[in-house]
Amino acid sequence: MDKIITIYDTTLRDGSQREGISFSVNDKLNITKRLDAFGIDYIEGGWPGSNPKDIEYFRAVRQLELKHAKITAFSSTRRAGIRVQDDLNIRSLLAAETPVVTIFGKSWDFHVTEALGTTLEENLNMIHDTVAYAKDKDREVIYDAEHFFDGYRANPDYALATILAAERAGADVIVLCDTNGGVMPFELQQIITHVKSLLKAKLGIHAHDDAGMAVANSILAAKLGVRQIQGTINGYGERCGNANLCTIIPNLQLKLRLPVIAPEQLMELTQLSRYVTELANLAPQEQQPYVGGSAFAHKAGVHVDAVMKHPHTYEHIQPELVGNKRRFLLSELSGKSNLLLKAWENNFDLSKENPQTKALLDRLKELEFQGYQFEGAEASFELLLWKTLTDYKQPFETLGVRAITEKRGENDQIVSEATVKIRVGEQEFLTAGEGNGPVNALDEALRKALVAVYPEIQDIRLVDYKVRVLDGKEGTGSKVRVLIESRDDRRQKSWGTVGVSYNVIDASWQALVDSLEYGLLAAGQAKMKTLHKAINKFRM
């Protein structure tokens, strides 16, 4: 594949500076392997002179057999007033033994005099000396011109002098950094055009998103001839984040027709985004372009009807190109088309004229009027379909539930206990459980009752639990909505369920029962598919 633009990922360094993210060494190694398999050209592993974790990463990453990516170590220029070979940061940078090093230096005269406390001339020497020294050590050198656009605004002659110093020293790529994230596209265009008229070195762009322009500026830079695009997966980064590679890559590939990875690798983009989200221990950004769960989700009935006729009516690309999928949401805005599609997804043959279709739609709207929301709880809706359209038999019946939360002394812990009585077939089970709270205790008690009959329950775990007050006028007596997300690790399947009540325990119990009931339904369907495959194979 002929490519003129390289992608530089800094998730492991710049991305990890986002509030709430702390990757372990093992996390960083696993992300490195996924980025390499995806086709990223450069992976910035960290700053080896800044902390022991990054030192350990660079030691361990040498053992990985990467197929494509080059690992990059990051550091600043030498300090003022000392020889480059005596600078501890530079020693650590080279000791990382990466084929590529990224060195950042100051472009803004304000930073030179106020932050570094040195002269403008000495800063130029620091840039030249460090780049030349790294080149002399046979490294590919990427020079990051920190605060370049702010520096250009303040003193264009000096900002240009800094990158010319890096070019004279032999830098392979000179990256123009919008470190404060405030440059506008029209400013960026003017500045890059001027820089290109003066420099012969390959240019890169490193944009932050403080003004919401990081992706736009990166795409515009590519149009202007910049040949290295830096960013992070999901746009993670300090403050408002970095340029989002999950948006940039498909824009370059599908909109500008600039190949950066193979088409089959692009189809892994959504999974890569979600993988990094999991390791970052953050909630998914469902409204992300291309890879978000809502990127190809359709809610209004008019939209769904049009998409059924031709997806291009409300989708700018095929979701499969980036590994995503089309979703049809159910709500009070839904029409019959939404309902028919959800029924079709569950192998139910409904038509618009079928009386059950109108009855289901009316029921859906009534439930949403009561406060139920099925956009994040499609498993609860699928159960409603099964219970309405088939002779579905519930795997268990609730006979009684009790939850007690008690604090016995001023300094004692709060203790939650629950008892659950259920019927499975002709058998009745009465079990108790303890937990960190009443919902946890109910979950434990219910699982104890079910596991003897349904051992697959052990594979199902609660992933997320959310409570939302629907109308705060009644204070603590307000109606609440509980959303539970569950996952079956064996079958690699996740689902959401919902409960609504004036009592948070009741709402939680509704969502919890739906969660386990749907998990058993899905596990049973999976077993049937496996059995059918085995029978068909035997017949062949």
Distance CA(492)–CA(502), nearest Å, equals: 34
Could you tell me which residues are beta bridge partners of residue 464? 485
Closest CA to 233 of 278, 202, 188, 263: 278
Does residue 16 fall inside a structural domain?
yes
Q: What angle do CA 219, 319, 242 make, to 5 degrees?
A: 35
Amino acid sitting at position 518: Y
Same domain membership, residue 117 and residue 31: yes
CB neighbour class for 40 (10 Å; exposed up to 12, middle 13-18, buried from 19): buried
Same domain membership, residue 159 and residue 35: yes
Structure-token pair, residue 373: 């929301």
Does residue 504 fall inside a structural domain?
no
Same domain membership, residue 60 and residue 119: yes
Residues of the chain with pLDDT under 50: 332-333, 528-540
DSSP string of 130-178? HHHHHHHTT-EEEEEEETHHHHHHH-HHHHHHHHHHHHHTT-SEEEEEE
Closest CA to 316 of 290, 337, 294: 290
- Structural domain range at position 372: 297-376
Same domain membership, residue 42 and residue 190: yes
Can you tell me whether residue 471 is helix, strand or coil?
A: coil
pLDDT at position 292, please?
A: 93
Distance CA(77)–CA(417), nearest Å, equals: 60
Same domain membership, residue 163 and residue 63: yes
Same domain membership, residue 131 and residue 24: yes
Distance CA(170)–CA(141), nearest Å, equals: 8
pLDDT at position 526, please?
A: 52
Can you tell me whether residue 468 is helix, strand or coil?
A: strand
Same domain membership, residue 338 and residue 234: no
Closest CA to 294 of 327, 342, 270: 327
pLDDT at position 196, please?
A: 97
Does residue 539 fall inside a structural domain?
no
Going by their DSSP bridges, the two strands 202-207 and 173-178 should be labelled as parallel
**Residue 293 CA to its chain's centroid (Å):** 10
- Backbone φ and ψ of 521, nearest 5°: -60, -45
Same domain membership, residue 174 and residue 30: yes
Structure-token pair, residue 339: 């309902």
Boundary of a domain, candidates 261, 283, 308: 261
Distance CA(278)–CA(163), nearest Å, equals: 38
Structure-token pair, residue 126: 């620091």
Closest CA to 119 of 80, 166, 79, 169: 80
Distance CA(417)–CA(421), nearest Å, equals: 14
Distance CA(226)–CA(4), nearest Å, equals: 9
Tally of domains within the chain: 2
Q: Tell me the residue ranges of DSSP E strands in 274-347.
A: 297-298, 327-328
0.75 exceeded by pTM:
no
Does residue 368 fall inside a structural domain?
yes
Does residue 139 fall inside a structural domain?
yes
Same domain membership, residue 168 and residue 72: yes
Distance CA(56)–CA(25), nearest Å, equals: 7
Does residue 325 fall inside a structural domain?
yes
Does residue 219 fall inside a structural domain?
yes
Could you tell me which residues are beta bridge partners of residue 176? 145, 205
Does residue 70 fall inside a structural domain?
yes
Same domain membership, residue 21 and residue 101: yes
CATH of the domain at 189: 3.20.20.70
Structure-token pair, residue 500: 């609504």
Closest CA to 47 of 8, 108, 1, 88: 88
Angle between helices 88-95 and 120-136 (to 10 degrees): 30
pLDDT tens column, 504-520 = 999 999 999 999 999 99
Structure-token pair, residue 26: 């093992």
Same domain membership, residue 134 and residue 37: yes
